[in-house]
Amino acid sequence: MSISRKNPVQQILESADIKIDNGRAGDIVVNDPVFFQRVLTGGSLALGESYMDGDWDCNNLDEFFYKVTRAGLQKRKVTGKLFWEIAKTALVNPQSVARSRKVAELHYNLGNDLYSSMLGRTMQYTCAYWTLGNTLDDAQTAKMDLVARKLHLSPGMKVLELGSGFGTLAKHLAEKYNVEVNAFNISHEQVKFARENTNGLPVHFHEEDYRNASGKFDRVISVGLMEHIGPKNYRDFMKVIDRNLIDGGLALVHTIGRSTSSTIPVDPWIRKYIFPGGHLPSLTRIAESTEGLFDVEDVHNLGINYDRTLMAWHNNFNNHWSKLKPKYGKMQDEKFKRMQDYYLLSCAGAFRSRSIQLWQTVLSKGREEVYQSQR
């Protein structure tokens, strides 16, 4: 590899205070010089794929991505493959009913043994609330109670959950707050786990797309779904909430987001290997999608909590890797582990730099009394 190929990458990284073979937290070690050409020609996607292939290493990937995103290196010109990704988003609906199942097949159906090892006792695969919890399990329970407080739940209420994950939020609300929950989720493995874990409780799981939800409910909850539905569906998503929510009811939407409105999808590597069709809304896009349907009662940014949550998941994953390796290590040797490391730590660094956010938004429909915010 010629020095002319190496220098541009060094210059780009050094602008973010990242050095090669220097040994500090966030610095990288290049194992194969092909790394330089791959990154120069392939950008963010190549950066992740070359890490999976072992072309480079970093002793603190989370710190590497904190520096990368803080310096704005992820903001690149719209050319080549990136232009095509944006064009596809504009011309087609990547999160149609048929296409939306891809993320469940690729990511959420990987295996409940993996997620139980990584997520802890609560099986919550969304941001924890560390303000009121010192351990992952306590912080996740605090998040579930925060959702309940914001929705002013009372016994006997009927609750609709759009995108239920492994069902533990629905279980928690049914057990602790004595409400009935109907939940919609397209991940077969998650629904299977949820049904087994809530036997005997007034919780009903539907292995269906959120757009099929019907009925009248006192409250509607969506935790971790809006990141997957795409900008072409934001308005229709809010209409689903509207048609299922009674007059005077409350809804809570919990979503990762970005600070600026953009047609650019999520990072190309994340989009290919973790969340196909993913797109992060801005507060502007969220607000626009509610116009004429709801009053926005409360907006709460919990994004800084996600850094710590992802680091806890990564710690759990590594602590259990020896148990998981016989099954998941067969996926192209160490590539699966390197993929998971890259995914969890790159996201942790991005949240740490505040380049992405996490919002909980409370919406009301025809509510006349004053809403009391909760924290």
Dump strand ranges (E) for 151-282: 158-162, 180-184, 203-206, 217-223, 245-257
Q: Which two tokens stand for residue 15?
A: 């602008």
Q: Are strands 180-184 and 158-162 parallel, antiparallel or unpaired?
A: parallel
Give the single-character DSSP code of 32.
Answer: S
Q: Which helix (H) or strand (E) holds 362?
A: strand 357-364
Q: Which two tokens stand for residue 334?
A: 């160490």
- Residue 127 among the catalytic residues: no
For 375, what's the count of Cα atoms within 13 Å in the CB-facing half-sphere?
Answer: 5
Q: Which two tokens stand for residue 17?
A: 């205070």
Q: Which two tokens stand for residue 275?
A: 């969340």
Tell me the C-alpha to C-alpha distance, in Å, between residue 61 and each of 49, 81, 311. Answer: 14, 25, 11
Facing residues of 56 across strands? 30
Contacts of 354 (CB under 8 A, 6+ apart): 259, 303, 304
Phi, psi of 358 (to 5 degrees): -135, 120
Contacts of 136 (CB under 8 A, 6+ apart): 120, 122, 128, 309, 312, 313, 316
Tell me the C-alpha to C-alpha distance, in Å, between residue 326 and each of 323, 331, 333. Answer: 7, 10, 10
156 in Cβ contact with 203 (< 8 Å):
no
Which of 347, 348, 350, 356 is catalytic? The answer is 347
CA distance 318 to 118: 8
Q: DSSP secondary structure string, 33-70?
A: THHHHHHHHHHHHHHHHHHHTTSEEES-HHHHHHHHHH
What residues act catalytically?
347
